[in-house]
Every structure is written in structure tokens, then in C-alpha cells.
Structure 1
Amino acid sequence: MASRTGDILIARGLATRDRLHEAQREGNARREPICSRLLAAGVPEGALASVLSEKHGVPGVDLSRTAIAVSVLDLVPRGVAQGDLILPLSLEGERLHLGMARPLDERILSEVRFATGREVSPYVAVRASLARAVQEAYDCRERGEPLWCGADAGPGGPFLAAVVPGGDLVEAELVDDLLPESADPLEVTEVPIEVEVPPPPARAGGRRLVLVVDDEPEIRKLVRRTLEAKGYAVESAADGADALAKAEALVPDLVLLDAMLPKVHGFEAARRLKAGPRTRGVPVVMMTAIYRGWRFAADAREAYGAEDYVEKPFRIDDLLRRVEAALDAGAARAPAAPARVSPELARGRELLSAGQAAEAIVALEQAVRGDPYSAEAHHLLGRALRARGEHFRAMTELERAVELRPGHLAALRSLAALYEETGFRRKAAETLERALPAAPDEAVRGAIRRDLLRLL
């Protein structure tokens, strides 16, 4: 058995090589993954969840010992849960904890983020147990029962029975209670970095520039012809990554952005545009043939900062009217000074530097509410929460910081340290690999490489 799952199972003494081959044959015949077969053979679900957690580098969940408040199921329709094999587990503030069979599937994660308007923390589950839990939990909701409880769940609830890579099962009402102590966490010295934002480039001929982003060449050509005929300058991109790069370099007057894009999902691209110091003031008009209806439109405006939302197929005159309205609305807003720091952010930074983490958290939470697209506010809030021992909340904020600004070196190093502290050594190494290109000089790169080698 050459698979990563098989290697971990053998190393932990949960199966012999012969038993793995037998389980694989049975799984192939029944079209079930190996952990589902071992679960049917009597291997404890918590142990299998821990194996999957180590394989994927995300927390695992033992659904047999978990109790879920069925009200959280309202966030995900039953058909979606069954089709994608996902199960809402709990809601912590604006963070949805989600049981998944494929916890690294970015398509599913992006769509749940958009549909719910919340960030998502994936928990990997044994597929057979997850499929059964989805069926039973939604049945409970339809019967009007307040809780779904796994077969071995204790009294009370709701609570989450979770594991971290290499860790034992822990039952807890709060995710923060699930964290093991690390003997040798990364030490990170934080240095506040003030970023000077260069002015946008001058426009040739004074024409307003529209960046058209769509993976369909025909759409790009049609929109380009229409806009150029009206006197606009037009640039185009075929995927989300190219769109972000061009928006950063050109600072267009408007981005016309398709929702379904390769490389970087359209909604994630919109989020990053609104977080970027150079692009946060650029109006974004979303286009979509998939996410239809006023609820999606409202969420696109509130959660992703879209100026407008256009469903495909569209009439070209209607699209042009919306583009012009969005440009006028963007021009009418007084431009904010890009280097402006909110008083709450400045106060939070001072309190954190003085070691007053609890007071810093209050100020920084206000800063985040005032500017949810501020990577620095999320970064400092994550550091303050980490200092208070609220590790999973800290992880949420630091992950958000690097989502908003992927090259945020201090946030990346803080997140890597936190991953290591909580037992996610592979995630810590992956995060340090992401930090290397952001290092400003060879000395910093050398320090990151040393930490990376130690983890590997």
C-alpha cells in the first residue's frame, strides 16, 4: 500500500499491510475509500479521523461523538450538502466549521464562503460516516428536533469531537479547547511595516480604463468592442490571477469581473481587489451565469464589495448602463487616503506592543468592523488573540489577513508559528514556503529557510 493514508495507518498500528490490501479490494468493489472500509470493520472513527487529519493537514472530526445544533444546517441547503458531501458543524462568529470529505477542494470552499457570507474552516471526516450524518442531521431538522447527535455522543450539546494531526480525540464546546501545546514553536519577532502606496499610473489621453475579466474569449471581445466604441480604454484578463496582477499594475477605473474564473475564483478576486491598498477604491461589477437571484447579488455587495451584479446572459445596453453607473458612483465617492490608519487600529497596535492583549483585542475588533478588508487589522487581531491563548480564533484572523494580502510577510510568519504550536507542522511548512517570496532580503530568507528545514 503506497498511499499516504496507508502509510499513516500502518505507522499507527491501525492496520497491517495485508489488511490494507484487503480493505482496498473491498473498497474498490463497493466504490468506498479505504477509511470507510476500515470503519465498517470496526476501527474507531476517531482514530481514522486523526489519520485523515494528518494526511490533509486540517482538523478532523469524529461524527459519531459529535452533537450539532440543527439550526446551523440552514446555512447550506440539503441538496448542496448531499451533492458535495459537506455538513455544517458549528458557527463561531462569522466562521463556519464544515465537515468535508474533500477538505482541500477550493471550489466547494469558495462557493460555501460566497453562499453563506462567512469564512469556512474545513474539518475532514470519514466519508461513510459523513454521508450518514448528512442524511440523519437534515432528517432531524425536518422533524423539528433541535439537535443531531452521533451514535456515541454523550448527553448535552452541541459539541464538536475533533482531532488535530497526530493528536487524540477531544470533545469540546469551544474549538479553542482542542489545541495541544507545542514544545518548540516558531519564534517570530514582529516589526510593524508601513507600506507606501505609489500613485496609479497616468492614463493615456485621459480615457477611463475598464479591466474586463472573463474566461470566455467571445465575452471579452464583445465587451471590449462595446466599451471602446463608447470611448473607454479596455484591458482584459482570462483568469483571476492575471486579473489581480493587471489590476495592481494598472489601477483601472473599473473592473468588470466574471464570478467563475480559473486560478482564482471571481469572488475571491473581488475580495482581494477590495483589500489591496492600490485597488480597494476601484469599483467592481460582477457578472455571473451561475449565482442567480437577489440574495446572491446582496451578498456580493455586502461580503465582497461589488458595486453591481449582472446576470448572464445580459443585454449589452444594460451592461453598458451599469458600467457607466458604477463608474459615476466610484468617481462621486471622495477618495480615501491610502495610508490612513484608523484610530482603533493605531490604538490596538499600541496596546499590543505594550503587552495589553485583552484591551488590544477590543480595539482591533472595532478596527475590523470598521474596515473588514484591512489585512493589517486582521493580522494584529490574530496576534492579540494568539497572545491570549485563543488559538483557533487567532488562526481565523491570520488566515484572513493572508487571504486579503497574500504577500503579508508578518502575517504569514505568525500563521506558520501558530500552525506549528497547534500541531499542524505540514501547514506551518507550507505557509513558510509561501512566505519566502515575500522576504525583503537574504537575511530574512535565510531565517525562513532554517525554520522550514527544521519543520521538514
Structure 2
Amino acid sequence: MLTGDVFVKEGLITDDQLQVAIAKQLELGGTESITRVMVDMGIITEKDRVRVMGKVWGIPFADLAELESTPEALNLVTAQIAKRFKCLPLVVHQDKLIVAMANPLDVFVIDELRMNTGCEIEPVISVESDILAKVSEHYKIETNVNEALAGVISDFSGEMELLATSDDEEISADQLKAMGEDAPIIRLANLIVNQAVADGASDIH
């Protein structure tokens, strides 16, 4: 467990600040870790907490505000896996996939990533909120398309039910045209095109 003394040794807090944090921790019933109490009190930042944690564990800290993932790395991990495991693939280096993780000691996640990517995994530690923000940023097209696909399936099923219950009724040409123009697959195609344009894609095939 990470103790407050480590932050004193790192020069991030004073002994007096640590004692104040310990008193607050006791006041809260000891349910919160001392590092979480210090973050909540504003004595240290979340970035400080995670960076020192990585140093104690011997795991490099990656500041995602200063790093960008490569397309090659992103293509190895799906949005679903990245969100589920709170991880962000950064780069492939010497046949290893370097991955930013909120908990780089989670061997289960590392094994899952290894099996899903076929790469050896080299974890680095990053702030969880930064990981999730980057995942949302980098995987927004995949996420939007997946959501749209779910809508396509739902809407298509609804339209099939409508047609099935209309055996004894005539559907006008105008109604069919309107259904075609608003068809789920058309909306999905429009979403992909609009997203590509927004992202500055030069060629849309």
C-alpha cells in the first residue's frame, strides 16, 4: 500500500501536510486510502498520486496529455476492450504493445490483452480519467457506428413488423419512398460519411 511518507520523500508534501491528511483520514473512519484523502484535500494532484505509485511499483508513468497513440496500436485493441479494461494502446515497440493502464498490476487484463492482440504487453501507468478521455477521443467513430448498428437492428425489426402487419392494407408509393429515405442503413451510411468529413478524411470509398 502506498503511504504518505513516500510523498514527503519525493518533496511533494511536508510532514505537517501529511499529519493533516492522516487526521482527516481518521475523521473519515479510515475507509479512504491516505493518498485518496490527500487528492481530495488538494494536497497532491491525481497525476502526482499515479506518478509516485508507478515509481514505487517500478512501472513507467505516461502523461497522456503529452502523448498520442499510433494508428497501428489503436487498430490492435477495440473500443469495447479499451473501455472495459480502462486501457489505451500507445505504440508497438520491438514487437511489444505498450499500453497505458489505470492498474498495470492487473495480470488478468494483461493476459486478456495479450490473447486479443497477439502481442506481448508492456504496461505503463496513467491517470484513469485521462485514459478514458483518450479512449473516447480515439475510438469515437467505432463507438458511434456500434451504437448506430444497434439502432439499425432495432429499427429494421420494427419496420419488418410494420410490413408484416400491413398485409391487408395498401402502402402508398409515398410511404415506401419515405421509409426508404429514412431507412436505418441509410442513416448508418450518413453517420459514417459525416464522421469522416468531420475528421478531415480526404477519401471516402
Query: What range describes the TM-score normalised by the shorter chain of this pair?
Result: 0.5 to 0.7
Tell me what 1:94 maps to: 95
Structure 2 unaligned spans of 5+: 144-194, 201-205
Contact 2:72 2:92 in 1 (8 A): no
1:106 CA displacement: 1.1
| Separation in structure 1 between the aligned mates of residue 65 and residue 40 of structure 2, nearest angstrom | 15
Letter paired with 2:8: I
In the alignment, the residues of structure 2 paired with residue 103 and residue 139 of structure 1 have an alpha-carbon distance, to the nearest angstrom, of 24
Which among 5, 8, 12 is matched to residue 6 of structure 2?
8
Distance 2:124 2:142 in 1: 21
1:117 equivalent in structure 2: 118
Alpha-carbon distance between aligned partners in 1 of 2:63 and 2:115, rounded to the nearest angstrom: 27
Q: Flag the 1:69–1:39 CA change in 2: closer, same or farther, 3 A.
A: farther
Query: In the alignment, what sits opposite 2:74?
Result: 73
String of CA shifts for 1:38-94, please: whole Å, max 9, x gaps: 69777383x444302122221111112222234422211111111111110111142
Contact 2:86–2:101 at 8 Å: present in 1 too? Answer: yes
Q: Say which SS state the counterpart of residue 69 (structure 2) adopts.
A: strand
CA distance in 2: counterparts of 1:36 and 1:82, whole angstroms: 27
Matched, 1:84 2:85: yes
TM-score normalised by structure 2 residue count: 0.54
Provide the rounded CA distance (Å) in 2 between the counterparts of 1:63 and 1:51.
16
> RCO (CA 8 Å, sep 6+): is it higher in 1 or 2?
2
CA distance in 1 between counterparts of 2:25 and 2:121 reads 32
Judging changes above 3 Å, is the alpha-carbon distance between structure 1 residues 41 and 113 closer, same or farther for their aligned structure 2 residues?
A: same
Q: CA deviation at 1:134?
A: 2.2
Task: State which of 33, 36, 48 in structure 2 corresponds to 1:34.
Answer: 36
| Sequence identity percentage | 24
Distance 2:42 2:142 in 1: 26
CA distance in 1, matches of 2:38, 2:129: 5
How far did residue 129 of structure 1 move? 2.4
**5+ unaligned residues in a row in structure 1: which ranges?**
147-456
Q: 1:40 to 1:75 in 2, by over 3 A?
A: farther
1:127 corresponds to which residue?
128
SS of equivalent residue, structure 2 residue 104 = coil
What letter corresponds to residue 45 of structure 2 in structure 1?
V
| 1:11 aligned partner, one-letter code | K
Distance of aligned partners of 1:9 and 1:106 in 2 relative to their CA distance in 1, 3 Å threshold: same
| Mapping of residues 36-435 of structure 1, within 5 Å | 37=39, 43=45, 45=47, 47-139=48-140, 143=195, 145=199
1:129 and 1:93 mapped to 2: Cα distance?
A: 25
How many pairs are equivalent? 139
The aligned residue for residue 407 of structure 1 is none
Q: Is the 8 A contact 2:12 2:44 kept in 1?
A: no
Deviations 1:192-231 (A, max 9, x none): xxxxxxxxxxxxxxxxxxxxxxxxxxxxxxxxxxxxxxxx
Q: C-alpha distance in 2, partners of 1:36/1:88?
A: 30
Alpha-carbon contact 2:38-2:44 (below 8 Å) kept? no
Q: Which amino acid is the alignment partner of residue 5 of structure 2?
A: D
- Judged with a 3 Å threshold, the aligned counterparts in structure 2 of structure 1 residues 5 and 134 are, in CA distance, closer, same or farther, namely farther
| Distance verdict in 2 for CA 1:44–1:34, change over 3 Å | closer
